[in-house]
Structure 1
Amino acid sequence: MKLFSQYKGLRRANYILFIGRIVTNMGAMIWPMLTLILNKKIGFNATETALFTICSGILFLPANLLGGHVADRFNKKRVIIYCDIVSIALFVISGFLPLSIFSICVLLVGAFFQTLEGPAYQALVADITPAEKREKAFSLLYLGANIGLILSPTLAGLLFNNYLWLCFVISGLSISVSTVLIGLFVKDEKLDEAPTEDVEESADDGLNIWSIIRNSGALIAFIISLAFYQGAYSQFGYLMPLDIAKAFPEKGSVIYGTITSVNCFLVVLFTPIITMVFEKVDLTKKFALGVILQAISFAAFLMSFGIIGGYYISIALFTFGEILTTIMMGAFLAERVPESHRGRIFGATNFAGAFMQGITQFGSGRMFDAFGPAYAWAFSIAMTMVAVIAALMLVYLDKKEFSQLYVQAD
């Protein structure tokens, strides 16, 4: 069946990373609930929650850039393993500490090292995968991440009131399984590719990453669109739970947990389908359609306050947009940036997205406290529309700038 056979032909390491993602995210119980922990357990209001998230996010910003440089300078596999070891220890320790701002900060230091390894992980996938298979490889990795996430948010919602500490411990232990798999079965080795296969091979290795970005209108448009898209995307873990908790004070955590699980279930069900159906569609057009769907989903969330069915319709629209954008990002960047700079371009895009997340959360948090959820969602829609405009510009600029990629695709 083509739906599943499309993932055949990848290297063994791709399938190991796929399994590792499943296991890791089966234990990823804290992050979907972090806003509710700060809001319901610690007692922060929406603005305070946003400020705490922004302050921690500011500390994470250097991790994205530093992680990109480290990924390009050192063995990516070792970077991932060393960062994982630190994260595992801190996640488990935070679970046995009394719940407080201090224990949350211990958790966030562990998350800092997860952020630090992010560019190495993304660049490793690009390095071990042939150019023509990269979109499938990133699609498979994304699929594995969401297979693991199907049950974890719902379980976290059930543990939230009385056994929250278990979520911290399970998160750390699940990462350890992935770390062992990567350590035993994944090699950090670059493929020998013909110079004509990728634009990446013809780029000047002497340029720094900022020069590469500055000289490419398509990359600038992509980074702007992606930053605003990811800034708005963060509302999935920030504004959405605040909205639901306000509408359903007693059972908000359980409802939000099930909505998160629906998101993951839809990703698992539709990622292979969307990957196959849109296989021949240009990467930039997939991205533009995904961003447009995000804007529509936010409008649906705005109109769904207190309507549980509306939340599920909105999350479905959100998920289809998420799938389209996520499966193309890694392949898009890997084909347009030199191999020697892959870690840094992933770090730079992660930095831009994290920066805009802070702005979006702060703005929507102020709107939420001052005027209510509707104004907060309207602010988020405005942020997404910037991403839509930049994505539409990208469709034109990329085809003009990287015309040889489109000739090969034809």
Structure 2
Amino acid sequence: MNNVRQPRPLLAGFSVYKGLGSSMYALFTIRVINRFGDFVQLLLVLILTIRLGLSPKEAGIFVSASIIATMVGQMFIGMAADRWGKKPLLVLCQVMVSLSYLACALSVVLRPTIIPYLILVASPFRGGTAPLTNTLVADFSPQGRLSHSFSLLYLGTNIGVALGPMVASMLFARSLLLLFALSAVLLSLSTLLLLAKVPDKRMQEQQSKDERKTNVRIPPILWLFFVFGALYTLTYGQNSFTLPLQFNSLYGEVAGASRYATLMMVNAVVVLVCTTLLTAWTHRLGQLVSMALALFLYVTGYLGYAFCSHFSIFLVATCIWTLGEILMATNSNVFLNAYADERIRSQCNAYMHVFSSLGHSISPTLGGLVLLATGYRELWLLASALCFLLGCGYIALNKYLKS
């Protein structure tokens, strides 16, 4: 079930997304709107320091508290969804975040000092939306099309992320009130679309009373998978921590920031262009083999970062590991949702997000410690070694499940 080889689709490109159903297309549109309108989280540090006048120390405390609240929301809302239903809780989460941002917009005029606390209130509900959306994708994906469904959702994420920062920067420069208000309005629109186009799966489920009473536990293989996910984000986080520091060291503050921004733009373009193609080409490999291939692509890209100093090589290395990013983002969700019991699927998605967030949060600290002791080359070599070991781990896991 979890790692079945499937025939290669006859048509490549966007045709791989044909026939996924209206609910899947609605979830795709909701993801685009939500990620496009995620202005607050995108500019959180700048809002707290420049617009609200908090010191870097105070802003750091609020950002850390927001991350912790997000992880708590992911965990508890994901667990609750398996009992009370995914759609109702997702609607509740989006409404609460929308109301919090609307209150922030009003507070810009009335009482700006409470805005950080309102953002903090929204954080657990915002965190809960990700595992719930992933579970709904698994619920509404047609039989044998799970990889295509998650590929479409990942594409929606990146379309929103590619467009959102441009609008966010303009709103930040002109009006903080409009930034919060537009974010609340866009979230409200996606909630209305969720209510109108995505049915409540609970109404369609016909489980027996005995099935409902069965105590289902997360299998050990998934706990190992969660740990692998945390280690992966530990290395992935160096792209946003170590790489800009390395560019500042190589090219200076102004040129380094500009070239790093160019690399991230290349990353976004490769994701948008190659997601559908990679989905079609690797569809029959199986999820664990695809993830192993992804980690070996990271090894190649990070070795490029370790030994090159020419910007053109950095561009090539970025393109290579971005292909790995696509394979990881799509196949990890497919494996998890195919392997997890349907009755605890939201809970499993929640654990996956919590472990990934934990790895990402630790990544800058460990990266900084390594840089204090050694240098950029050694750090990327360590990251490459960890990616290689993880790739071998996915291959070993694949052989174990087949035995």
Please classify the TM superposition score into its range, dividing by the shorter chain length.
0.7 to 0.9
CA contact (8 A) 2:340 2:348 kept: yes
State the alpha-carbon separation in 2 of the partners of residues 383 and 101 from structure 1: 41
Aligned residue for 2:38, secondary structure, equals coil
Of 186, 194, 207, which aligns to 2:216? 207
Residue in 2 aligned with 1:85? Answer: 95
Q: How does 1:62-73 map to 2 (within 5 A)?
A: 62-73=72-83
- TM-aligned CA distance change 1:163 to 1:361, over 3 Å: farther
> Partner amino acid for 1:106?
L
Equivalenced residues, count: 382
- Give the conservation status (yes or no) of the 8 Å contact 2:147–2:283: no
Alignment of 1:178-189 (within 5 A): 178-189=190-201
Residue number among 274, 280, 286 corresponding to 2:278 in the alignment: 274
Give the one of 355, 359, 362 matched to 2:365: 362
Structure 1 pair 113–27 and aligned structure 2 pair: CA distance change class (3 A): same
Q: Percent identity?
A: 25
> Cα deviation per residue 1:155-200 (whole Å; 9 max; x = unaligned)?
445666665665444433322221111111101227789xxxxxxx
**Which residue number corresponds to residue 390 of structure 1?**
390
Contact 2:69 / 2:123 at 8 angstroms: preserved in 1? no
1:292-350 deviation line (CA, Å, top 9, x unaligned) = 32344344455678x76565444323321110011112221122121101011111111
Is this contact kept in 1: 2:244–2:257, CA < 8 A? yes
Give the conservation status (yes or no) of the 8 Å contact 2:302–2:383: no
Change (3 A) 1:315 1:27: farther
Deviates more, 1:336-345 or 1:162-171: 162-171
1:117 counterpart residue number? 129
**SS of equivalent residue, structure 1 residue 6:** helix
Given the alignment, which residue of 294, 301, 304 partners 1:297? 301
The residue number in structure 2 matching 1:74 is: 84
Superposed CA RMSD in Å reads: 3.8
Give the whole-Å Cα distance in 2 for the aligned partners of 1:160 and 1:353: 29
CA contact (8 A) 2:82 2:347 kept: yes
The code of the aligned residue for 2:390 comes to A
Deviation digits for residues 229-274 of structure 1 (CA, Å, limit 9, x no counterpart): 1233334455555666776645877766554444333212110100
Paired residues of 2:308 and 2:314 also in contact (CA < 8 A): yes
Q: For residues 95-154 of structure 1, give each alpha carbon's deviation from its aligned partner in whole angstroms, at most 9, with x where no partner exists.
A: 563999964453343232111232221111111123411111011111111122222234
TM superposition score normalised by structure 1: 0.78
Residue from 144, 150, 156 that aligns with 1:144: 156
Flag structure 2 segments of 5+ consecutive residues without an equivalent. 1-10
Letter in 1 for 2:327: L
Aligned residue type for 2:393 = M
Q: Does 1:15 align with 2:25?
A: yes
Residues 35, 238 of structure 1: 8 Å contact kept:
no
In structure 1, what is the equivalent of residue 328 of structure 2?
A: 325
Structure 2 equivalent of residue 400 of structure 1: 400
Distance 2:99 2:378 in 1: 40
Distance 1:302 1:383, change over 3 A: closer
Q: Rg bigger for which structure? A: 2
The change in CA–CA distance for 1:387 and 1:255 in structure 2 (over 3 A counts) is closer
CA distance in 1, matches of 2:258, 2:102: 24
